[in-house]
Amino acid sequence: MLLARVLDDKFASLYRAGKIHGGVFLGRGQEALSVAMGMVLRPGDVFAPLIRDAAGRLAFGEPILDAVRTYLGSALGPMRAREGNVHRGRPKEGLLPMISHLGAMISVVNGALLARRFKGDTEAIGAASIGDGATSTGAFHEALNQAAVEKLPLIVVVANNQYAYSTPTERQFACRSLADRAVGYGMEPQTVDGTDLGSCLKALGRAAEAARNGRGPQLIVANLLRLCGHGEHDDANYVLQKLKSSPLGRDCLKVAEEELQCRNWADANTIAAWRGESVQKVEEAVAMVQREPGPDPFKENWCALASKHLSEGGGEV
């Protein structure tokens, strides 16, 4: 969580320094939920993170260099600078790179899980991260229905951070709670306080176990507040003050640090040291990547097909 927060803060300052092309999307406030997802997943599982899942990605095992390289446009990144910021992944390692159309990744996780089933892999589960806004898409609806019909071991984690860009939840859905939708699909729901790391870990743990035991797809709806703009280009002045000062608006990182100290599992110095390590890791990564080259348009093969012989004019600029 700490590393994710430090990394996000770094991207924010790089953005303000003009060093990043395109958008920057942070997960401030969602680290607890996201990290819980990454931690219940094991190597061999399938994970489709979205735009605020720095913590979850790190927990799942994504190297920090992937994030830094993709944001800074290094040719050595996993997407080879053909995609940027949060649009990154390693499909062969179960980490699916998102496309911008919200909801579209969930059915892809379904397909991956189905393929595992064909291979006789009964252990693997999948998790898809999604926001309150994306639950309105047709793709979301189709995918949850499909997962339930196929009884796939899928966990859908909805981070209800109260806003989809500038749209508050009362303009996004009319049901009492997003968790109620689970019944409609035939999924098992849970609602959780997204600001509390302990609750998140418990909920994800229960869902993962249910999925691994063949109980079909799980829906987790976590309530929290987005503590940053939709992107760093957005100052989020539409977020209601009353939400910010409510328990929903607590910073999960602070809550976790307080809890650790409360339970004497770590003291302030230890936490400061951890923060220092994170800062160092991030700074080293950034320093290294800033020396790396961007893509050379004249060395690109400009071919979108794996079968080169079927490409028209591929290989020429």
Partner 1 sequence: MSITYIEAIREAQARALAEDPRVFIYGQDIGSFGGAFKATKNLANDYPGRVMDAPISEDAIIGLGVGAAIEGRRPIIEMQYADFSTVAFNQIVNQAATLFWRTNVPCPITIRLPCGGTSGSGPFHSQTMESIYAHYPGLVVMTPATVEDAYSMLLEAVAIDDPVVFCEHKLLYYHLKADKLPNEALPTGKARIARQGRDMTIVAYSAMVHEALAAADELATEGSQVEVVDLRSVKPLDTDTVMASVARTGRLLCVGESWPWGGVTAEVIARVASEGFGLLDAPPQRLNAKDTPVPYHPNLWAVHRPTARSIAVAARNVLRK
- The residues binding partner 1 (CB under 8 A) are 46, 78-80, 82-83, 87, 89-92, 96-97, 99-101, 104-116, 118-119, 138-139, 142-143, 145-146, 149, 304-307, 309-312
What's the min distance (Å) between Cβ of 48 and partner 1?
9
As measured in angstroms, the least distance from the Cβ of 45 to partner 1 is 12
Looking at the Cβ atoms of 90 and 202, the one nearer to partner 1 is 90
User: 234 by DSSP, 3-state: which?
Assistant: coil
Closest CA to 216 of 188, 190, 191: 188
Based on CB atoms, which residue is closest to partner 1, 142 or 251?
Answer: 142
d(CA 126, CA 44): 9
Cα of 113 vs its chain's centroid, Å? 19
Instruction: Quickly tell me which residue has 């079909």 as its tokens.
Output: 216
Q: Among residues 92 and 291, whose Cβ is nearest to partner 1?
A: 92
Closest approach, Cβ 154 to partner 1, in A, equals 11
Q: How far is the CB of 149 from partner 1 (least distance, A)?
A: 6
Q: Which is nearer to partner 1, 184 or 198 (CB)?
A: 184
317/314 Cα distance (integer angstroms): 8
CA distances to 17, 29, 70 from 64, rounded to whole Å, are 21, 19, 10
Which tokens in the block code for residue 126? 């999948």
Q: Which residues does 204 contact at the CB level (< 8 Å), separation at least 6? A: 36, 37, 39, 40, 155, 157, 220
Based on CB atoms, which residue is closest to partner 1, 145 or 169?
145
Q: Print burial letters for 283-294: b (CB count within 10 Å at least 16), e (below 16).
A: eebbeebeeeee
Rank residues 38 and 94 by Cβ distance to partner 1 and give the closer one: 94
The least CB distance from residue 200 to partner 1, in Å, is 26
Distance in Å, CB of 89 to partner 1, minimum = 7
